[in-house]
Amino acid sequence: MIIRKDVLIKAANFCAYQERTQAEVREKLQKLGVEGDEADEIIVYLIEENYLNEGRFAKIFAGSKFRVKHWGRQKILYELKARKLSEHSIREGLAEIDDEDYIETLNTLIEKKKRELRTEKQPAVLKQKVARYAMSKGFESDLIWTILNKSEK
């Protein structure tokens, strides 16, 4: 089968602009009217030429969502799964997050939220609100409660 050069160039440019997943490329190809074997061949070409690398995508995605948006591992994991990445790529992405930075970021988020809620008089209610906030950011509940209980002492 011969791959149409114009579609191949568009797909390569699509991947060169920013990191993409295979699912995103397949969706783009579908919009360009390319499906089936031809789409598969284009994706194989993009992988071989290193335009498309899901491990690289996962690393960049996880690292940036953690550093910029302060997302926890749970939320990042959910988003990577939603993008149909392999378990291997997901593990690669999550490995980008340093454990010390992770705990430090969670501590910072907790302290910031406590300052925002300083008018809350009941300590138990304050802890619940802070924990709920940290969980909504994707941090693990056991880690959140460990930090909250430590800071109480």
pTM of the full structure: 0.87
Distances (CA, A) of 78 to 74, 82, 128, 140, 144: 6, 6, 23, 13, 18
Give pLDDT tens digits for 14-33: 999 999 999 999 999 999 88
Decide if 106 contacts 72 (C-beta within 8 A): yes
Decide if 88 contacts 55 (C-beta within 8 A): yes
Give pLDDT tens digits for 54-95: 999 999 999 999 999 999 999 999 999 999 999 999 999 999
Residue 51: partners with Cβ closer than 8 Å, 6 or more residues away: 11, 12, 15, 16
